[in-house]
Structure 1
């Protein structure tokens, strides 16, 4: 739907109060690919011409309950990132407890670019991701502005191996790795959910106009002029080890594109100037702390991927890739 009827009445009135004099809302388009929230593109026309905004709304009960903390954190982060070179959206307004809208919502500028999830060009895009991430980790913040300390997304007691695995000893060994106390680390600014679905790419020829899913669009391929035009979804921003952001992106790459792509990401990150734990055992801890959070089959994230065309990522495919990735991590870093 590309008219304003695609926006609930209360949200429409709230959005219109945020517009400049003479501007009016002329179009609403649902954006695909989100898992935690509903995303809409809002087209605005006015004396200065046409522009587009993005509206994030939490509608699932779990996220509605936690919306105040999540959306206020994202609003604070977007304000902070406006002082940096990280390509993030500009905050327009936030309604974290649904005081004005039907659901807790955040309104921001729409970034150009498209999400690229196809296998073609995956290695090149991984290199671009690896060069972008150190810039995120170098964001300087005063102690009073630091985001919350990172939260682990799993624990030994919560890990569920894939059903029917022929390698129960592999999973037991992996779980034993994360039974230890977390390694000491030098903290830095973390995106905490940095992966291909939260990064927008544009081509040098001006491809990527922001028409699609997330805070951008969906497309395929990627030529020599490809570049990162936006990093989105800052609700989980945290303070913690760089290894944890690298671990998360590596897991997602392994599930999306295969184990070799996921295993190569940490090397690409270090080649781009990023710093990781010196001790392989410490690095293994962070990598498995992330990967084991997606056992048994990563179905939670794959639903959005399949909406964007990756129908090949069935539960059995994801379970097999996750197990192979865990094995590769133990072989490389486990001694």
Structure 2
């Protein structure tokens, strides 16, 4: 159990009955901005608790001031998420300012299940993924500290030099520069994609990583997940997800390509990179060349929805 300092272990145990002790510590894969540690705690009555400790100890990915903000936002998001349909981790405690260790900490319950990027039935898997997102969006929450903002501003966007279809990207960038459509905001996950969804026995067991929870348009979650599906599998799978979402959401949702486009612009880079989470969960075949090709194909599919 040398992965955690004694001060962190003592802090974790303070949230549990006196006499509890840690029996196992293991590093969890998939996170790019923090270290996730799974901890098993045995109690005096011989019962166990499974928890996850999130350590913002990757300064190259996120600075300390941003980490403090992220811990605070995730803590607030988890409280809201627990009021929604579906499973999400329960907040146990935080050390926002790094008083216990050098870095901010967040302690939460551990959900059952695992990430699954190799489903037996892709159609069924996508349908359940869409249903899960619709359930998250079935809320009327408008009072939350964080509001949606773009990761990349329109004026900073450039036609990617690697693209085989610069005219398509030029048109999409022009759409991104248009004012946001009026919409009825709700609470959204903001980083909903397959690596943040856990599965057990073919069913969704829960949704994790609520760091970016905020008030915004449902299409932001939809668009971000669609981009991920397009990169992992292809445009067809992204479109199937859209169809299932629209069918399940009913009158609560009206599709607008604008939000898909904004989500695409959020991940537009001069030099595309492969999200490490895909390889961590078995999709090691995805290369930068594949990403560039699929980015072009996805951009064309959005272009065709308008022109």
TM-score, length basis structure 2: 0.92
Aligned with 1:151 (options 109, 130, 149)? 149
Partner SS state of residue 14, structure 1: helix
Q: Per the alignment, do residues 196 and 151 of structure 1 end up closer, same or farther by CA in structure 2, a change over 3 Å counting?
A: same
Q: 1:84 to 1:177 in 2, by over 3 A?
A: closer
- By how many angstroms is 1:63 displaced? 4.3
Task: Pick from 277, 283, 295 the counterpart of residue 254 of structure 2.
Answer: 277
CA displacement at 1:240 relative to structure 2: 1.2
Looking at structure 1, the residues matched to 74 and 149 of structure 2 have their Cα atoms a distance apart, in angstroms, of 16
1:263 is matched with which residue: 218, 232, 239?
A: 239
Partner in structure 1 of residue 82 of structure 2: 82
| 1:33-64 CA-partner distances (Å, limit 9, x unpaired) | 11121101001112242221001111122242
Contact 2:172 2:261 (8 Å CA) reproduced: yes
Give runs of aligned pairs for residues 194-273 of structure 1, distance below 5 A: 194-203=192-201, 226-273=202-249
Partners of 1:251 and 1:164 lie apart in 2 by 18
Q: Distance in 2 between matches of 1:36 and 1:113?
A: 22
Aligned counterparts of 1:92 and 1:312: Cα–Cα separation in 2: 37
Cα distance between partner residues in 2 of 1:298 and 1:261:
21
Cα 1:121–1:79 change in 2 (3 A) is same
Report how far residue 146 of structure 1 moved. 2.2
Provide the residue aligned with 2:268 in structure 1.
Answer: 295
Q: Are the aligned partners of 1:56 and 1:106 in contact in 2 as well (CA < 8 Å)?
A: yes
Aligned residue-pair number: 302
Work out the CA distance in 2 between the residues paired with 1:146 and 1:165.
39
Q: Distance in 1 between matches of 2:113 and 2:183?
A: 34
**CA offset at residue 84 of structure 1?**
3.5
Give the distance between the partners of 1:307 and 1:64, measured in 2 at CA. 25
Q: Could you say what secondary structure the match of 1:114 adopts? A: coil
Q: 2:191 aligns with which of 166, 190, 193?
A: 193
Equivalence for 1:334: 306
Matched residue, 1:215: none
Tell me the CA shift for residue 24 of structure 1.
0.4
Q: Which residue of 2 aligns with 1:102?
A: 102
Deviation at 1:6, TM superposition (A): 1.5
CA distance in 2, matches of 1:43, 1:271: 41
The answer to whether 1:22 aligns with 2:47 is no
Structure 2: distance between partners of 1:298 and 1:252:
13
Structure 2 counterparts to residues 40-55 of structure 1, below 5 A: 40-46=37-43, 47-55=45-53
Query: Which consecutive unaligned segments of at least 5 residues does structure 2 have?
Result: none
**In structure 2, what is the Cα distance between the partners aligned to 1:231 and 1:298?**
27
Deviations 1:166-224 (A, max 9, x none): 21111111111101111111111101111101110110xxxxxxxxxxxxxxxxxxxxx
| 1:147 positional shift | 4.0
CA distance in 2, matches of 1:123, 1:159: 34
- Decide whether the 8 Å contact of 1:189 with 1:239 is kept in 2: yes
Structure 2 residue matching 1:182: 3-state secondary structure: coil
The 2-side partners of 1:321 and 1:315 are apart by 10
Deviation at 1:10, TM superposition (A): 2.7
Preserved CA contact (<8 Å) 1:36 1:63: no
> For 1:232 and 1:38, how far apart are their aligned partners in 2?
14
What TM-score, normalized to structure 1? 0.85
8 Å Cα contact 2:148-2:216 kept in structure 1 = yes
Q: Give the root-mean-square deviation of aligned CA atoms.
A: 1.8
Q: d(CA) in 2 for partners of 1:124 and 1:160?
A: 37
Q: Which runs of 5+ in 1 are unaligned?
A: 204-225
Of residues 280, 301, 304, the one that matches 1:307 is 280
Q: Does structure 2 conserve the Cα–Cα contact (< 8 Å) formed by 1:11 and 1:102?
A: no
Contact 2:155/2:177 (8 A) holds in 1: no
Q: Secondary structure at the match of 1:299?
A: coil
